[in-house]
Amino acid sequence: MVDGAELVGRLSPSGRLELTRQVLDWTIGALPGGARELLDGRPGEVVAAAISDVRAVADGAEPTEDAGEIEDELLELSDEVELQQLWQLFNALSYCVGLDSPELEAGTVQETMSACYDVIRDCEDLPEFPVGTAEATVLAAERANENCMRAISRQKELVGEALRRDAGE
**For position 116, what pLDDT does the model report?**
97
2, 21, 30, 70, 166 from 63: Cα distances, Å:
32, 14, 26, 11, 22
**For position 2, what pLDDT does the model report?**
47
Nearest CA-CA partner of 114 in 27, 25, 7, 11: 27
Question: How do the domains of the chain map onto residue ranges?
Answer: 4-168
pLDDT of residue 1 exceeding 60, the answer is no
Length of the chain measured in residues: 169
Higher pLDDT, 62 or 117: 117
pLDDT of residue 3 exceeding 70, the answer is no
Query: Mind listing the pLDDT tens digit for each residue in 10-35?
Result: 999 999 999 999 999 999 999 998 99
The distance in angstroms from the start CA to the end CA of the chain is 25
